[in-house]
Amino acid sequence: METTLVLVKPDGVQRHVVGAIIARFEAKGLQIVGLKMQRIPEATLRTHYGDHKGKPFFEGLIAYMASGPVVALALRGPRAIATVRKMMGKTFGFEAEPGTIRGDLGLSGSFNLVHGSDSPASAEKEMQLFFRPEDLVEYRHLDYDVILDPRDAGDQGKK
């Protein structure tokens, strides 16, 4: 099982689509193991988006992400990282396919509603920025008995 970070960005919070976004992940079968609303300190944002430092959009991205609260989610499931990335859609709403979060809910070339970790290494690093170990809740996802073939979940889906 993988655990990945999703951030519902300030535009998603302000547009009142947090519930709709979370509902998509739950309906897919991903397990919420962490959830919190917060304002992200600038220092954390600079660390989180450090790979983009020096790019023309970096300072604007930091200002945008600091402009309002975000909702941080820790989602768990088999292939969670790839699943979340596919569900989010292309970066900009006007390019994203219908059926994706950004394709259905986004239009902007700047505000794109959600962030999701792009690799296991990123997920591990990003999770540590937004969640302490005690913030994550381990529990048996009862629906896995009907959502996953045992070959998908292995013993990890039976907690």
pLDDT in tens, 72-90: 999 999 999 999 999 999 9
Of the candidates 32, 131, 23, 126, the one whose C-alpha atom is nearest the C-alpha of residue 80 is 32
The fold for domain 2-158 equals Alpha-Beta Plaits (3.30.70)
% pLDDT > 70, the chain: 96
| Per-residue pLDDT band at 157 (split at 50, 70, 90) | very low
Instruction: Supply the angle between the helices 80-88 and 18-28 in degrees, to the nearest 10.
Output: 130
Residue 109: exposure state from Cβ atoms within 10 A (0-12, 13-18, ≥19): exposed
Name the residue ranges covered by the structural domains of the chain: 2-158
Active site (annotated) includes residue 141: no
Spatial CB neighbours of 126, under 8 Å, sequence gap ≥ 6: 5, 48, 117
Pairwise pLDDT comparison (159 vs 135), residue with the higher score: 135
Grouping H, G, I as helix, E, B as strand and the rest as coil, residue 6 is strand
Q: Among the options 16, 52, 115, 141, which is catalytic?
A: 115
What pLDDT was estimated at residue 153? Answer: 56
* pTM of the predicted model as reported, rounded to 2 decimal places: 0.90
